[in-house]
A and B are shown apart, each in its own frame.
Chain A
Amino acid sequence: MTEQTISRRRVLGGVALGAGAALGATLPLRPAFAATTIVGFIYVGPHDDFGYNQAHAQGAAAVKKMASVKVLEEENVPEDVAVTKTMESMIEQDAASLLFPTSFGYFNPYILREAPKFPKVRFEHCGGLWTPKDPKNIGSYFGYIFEAQHVNGIVAGFTSKSGKLGFVAAKPIPQVLQNINAFTLGARLINPKATTRVIFTGDWSMPVKEAEAANSLIDQGVDVVTMHVDSPKVVVQTAAKRGASVCGYHCSQAALAPEAYLTGAEWNWTDLYPKFVTMWMKGEPLPNFYRGGFKEGLIKQSPYGPRVSEAARKKADAVKAALTAGKYVIFKGPIHDNTGKIVVASGQELIQSNATDAKLEEMNFLVNGVLGALPS
C-alpha cells in the first residue's frame, strides 16, 4: 500500500515507471508470500481519518515493521456481504492466516459465520463480545477507553469555567454511553455541578451535522467539548475555531488544534497488534476474550495541552496512575441516572477487568449530570 501511495503522488514520473515495472513483478500472488505470515486488516472507513480507523491503521503500521510478516489492508469495506468476501479473498487468494476485521458491525453475523469455514485462520475482532458457544478461532478484544475519557473529564472539570461540557455522540449504544458517563463522572469529581450536554448525530461520520452539533453546544455555553464519532477532526476544528477547549478521541488530534486541545483518549493498538501477531507466529494460544485499559496498555492518554493547569495535570496523573495500577473503579455505587433512578447500587462496582461484566458491556443509562435522553 505504502509504495503505491508514494508512487501515486509522483503522478507524472509514475507513468514511465509503471510501464517499466513489468507485470511479472505483481503476479502470481500466492507463492511469493509462502514463507511469511500474512495478516489482513479491514477498515470500515478511510484509514487516515484522524479517528477510529486511523488508530487501527497505526497498529497495522507497527505490524508492518515486523520481520517475515506481510500486511494486507483494505479500507472502506461496508458491513455487508462485502466484508465476507474481503475476508475470504484475503484467506483464499492471498493466504492470510490472521485477520483483524476492525469494525464492530463485522462481528455478527459476518465473522461468526466465516470462522467455522476456516478453522485454521484466526479472526481477531475489535469490540465484539465473544461467548464460549462462539467459534474458538475468534478472539474479541477491546479497550476500556472510557478510563481515558474519565481522565478527559477530570481535565475538563478543571478547565471549564462555565461547568458546562459538551459531548458529540454518534449513536446511543453502550460503548458510547460508557464514554459519556465516565467523562461526566470525571468532571463531577472536580466540579460537582458540572453537566454534560449530549447531542446524538445519528451516524458515525456526518461532518456537517457534527459541526452543527459542536456549534449548538457552544451556543449553549459549553466550553469543553469531546466526542465519540468515527472521525473527530471536524468537532475538534469547530470547537477550536469557536474558542472552546476540546478533548480528543480515538487518536491524538492535537496537531489540528494545538492550543485548544486539552488531552485525549487514544487507542494503543500499536502495542497490542504486534503482540498478537508474535503470539500467532509462535503458535501460542491467543485469548478469545480480551479486555483491558491503562493497566493492560490497550489505551493511552494524549499529552496535556497548554490550557491544562498544573492542578489538573496532577489530579489527572494521579487517577491515571491508580487506573494503571488497577486500583480505581469508575462506576462505583451508588450511581443515579439522570432521571433520579439508582442504576449502580451502593457497594456495587462495575470493574474494568478481563472478565465480562454484563452491566458494563450493556450500559443503558446516562448518569446524573448528563443532559440528554436515550430513545425509549
Chain B
Amino acid sequence: MVDETASTLIRPPPAGHGDAAAIASNAAAVVAAPGPRPRRGFAAGGTAIEAVLVPAGALILSLLLFGVFVACAGVNPLAVYRYMVEGSVGSWFSVQNTLTRAAPLLLTGLCTALPAQAGLMIIGNEGAFVMGGLAAAMAGVALHGAPAPLALAAMTLAGTAAGAVWIAFAGGLRHWRGVNETISSLLLNYIAIAILNQLVEGPFRDPRSLNKPSSPSIGYDHMIDSIPGTEIHWGLVVGIVVCIAAYVLIRHTTIGFATRIAGGNLRAARMVGLPIGWLVMLTCALGGAAAGLAGMIELAAVQERASADLVTGYGYTGILVAFLARQNPLAIIPVAMLLGGIGASGGLLQRHLGLPDAATVVLQGIIFVMILASDAVYGRLPWFKRADAAA
C-alpha cells in the first residue's frame, strides 16, 4: 500500500466518496483511502509493468497525434520523427544536447514533485529558480577573490536557501493561513522575476554591463566545469544524484512515510499526531531548494552573471516534468531526458521542415494532456487486473 504513486496522493478525494470522517482512524487504512481503487507504483510486481506501459502507451499515442497534427499542416510526419530522433539521440552531439537541456529540469521538476508528496501542488518553480540564481550570484560576487571551493559552497548554500525560503513561504501560507499554494506560488514567480530585474538594473548592476543589464561576474575560475570528455556540465550529475536522494527520502525514510500520510489524508494524519505543518514546510523547502540549486547551477555553469536571462522557463517546464513523472522523483530522470530531447530536436524541425518553434510546445502539451488522461486507465486494463488483486 505504501507504494502508491504520488499523483494519487495529491488528488483530492473523488467526488461522491463522502465525508472524510468515514475514513478509518489508523494510518494504514488512511493511506489506502484516497483513491477509489488503490493503485501501486512501479515497485509492486505486476503493476510495475503497468506503471511503465501506460505512460509509454500515452507517449506513443501523443507522438501519433502530433504526427497527424503536422500532417494537417502539410509536413511529412515520418520526416518529423526522423529529425526528432536525429536531433535528440542521433549522434554524440545530439545526446549531449539532450542531456544538457535535461540537467536543469531534473531539479526544477523536484520543486513540484516533493511538495506533491505532502499533498501540495506547487507551480512556483520558475520563481525559486530565479531566486536561487540571484542569491547565488550575490554570494559569488561577494566572494569573487575567495578560493573556488569556498565560493562554490557559498553559492550553493545561498541558492538552495533562497529557493527553499521562497517555496516554504508558499507552503507556510497554505498551512497557517489557508492560502492556496498553487495560486500563491504562481504569483511568487512574477514577483521573483520583478525582484531580479529591479536588482540587476539597479543596485546589483555592473556598470560595465552596457546593453545587457547584468550583475558583476562571479569570476570565470569560479564556474562549474564540464564533465571530462563532454560538453555537459556537472549539473547533470548533481541533478541525478538529488533525484535519487529525493526518492530514497520519500520511499525509504520515516519522514517520507509520514509526509505521504499527510498528503493522503490530512484529517487522519492529524489523528495520528503527525506534525503536518512541519512536513509541509519541509517538503516545500526541499522542493524549493532543488529549484534554487538549479538556478545556482545555471548561473555558475552557464550564465556567469545574473541578468534577465535567468528567466529561462526551466521552472515552468519543471511542472510538466513532475506531472509526467507522476510526481515520482526517480521517474523524473527519464522524463527530464525526454523533454530535453524534444527541446534538442526543435532546431532541426524548424530549420529543415519549416515547423514553427511552437511545434515542440504543442507536442509537450499533447504529451502532458495524454499522460494525465491515461491516469484513468490504471487498473482497468484486463492484463493487470490479476496482478492488482494479488498485490
Query: Are chains A and B touching in the complex at the 8 Å CB cutoff?
Result: yes
Contacting pair A15 B72 (CB below 8 A): yes
Interface of chain B: mostly helix, strand, loop or mixed: helix
Contacting pair A23 B101 (CB below 8 A): no
Is A11 an interface residue, CB under 8 A from the partner? yes
Residues of B within 8 A of A14 (CB): 71-75
Is A339 an interface residue, CB under 8 A from the partner? no
Contacting pair A18 B309 (CB below 8 A): no
Assembled-state Cα–Cα distance A21/B80 (Å): 12
Contacting pair B354 A1 (CB below 8 A): yes
Is B150 an interface residue, CB under 8 A from the partner? no
Of residues 349 to 374 in B, which have CB atoms within 8 Å of A's CB atoms?
350-358
Residues of A within 8 A of B308 (CB): 203
Is B180 an interface residue, CB under 8 A from the partner? no
Min CB distance, B320 to chain A, in Å?
17
> Which of B212, B343, B351 contacts A74 (CB under 8 A)?
B351
Assembled-state Cα–Cα distance A125/B231 (Å): 23
Contacting pair A79 B309 (CB below 8 A): yes
Residues of B within 8 A of A82 (CB): 101, 343
Contacting pair A23 B82 (CB below 8 A): yes
Q: How large is the interface on A (under 10, 10 to 19, 20 to 34, 35 or more residues)?
A: 35 or more
> Which of B201, B307, B357 contacts A75 (CB under 8 A)?
B357
Min CB distance, A94 to chain B, in Å?
7
> Which of A10, A19, A127, A376 contacts B202 (CB under 8 A)?
A376
In the complex with contacts A89-B93, A92-B93, A173-B213, A73-B351 CB distance below 8 A: yes
Contacting pair B74 A74 (CB below 8 A): no
Residues of B within 8 A of A127 (CB): 211
Contact with A along B285-326 (1 / 0, CB 8 A): 000000000000010001111011100110000000000000
Nearest residue (CB) in B for A376 is B202
Contact with A along B63-102 (1 / 0, CB 8 A): 0000000111111111100110011000101100100110
Which 8 interchain pairs have the tightest Cβ spacing?
A14-B74, A4-B354, A7-B74, A76-B357, A18-B76, A26-B79, A23-B79, A173-B211
Contacting pair B97 A85 (CB below 8 A): yes
Is A99 an interface residue, CB under 8 A from the partner? no
Is B219 an interface residue, CB under 8 A from the partner? no
> Which of B71, B79, B354 contacts A3 (CB under 8 A)?
B354
Nearest residue (CB) in B for A361 is B210
Is B348 an interface residue, CB under 8 A from the partner? yes
**Most B Cβ at <10 Å: residue of A25, A26, A127, A376:** A26
In the complex with contacts A18-B74, A88-B93, A174-B211 CB distance below 8 A: yes
Assembled-state Cα–Cα distance A173/B347 (Å): 30
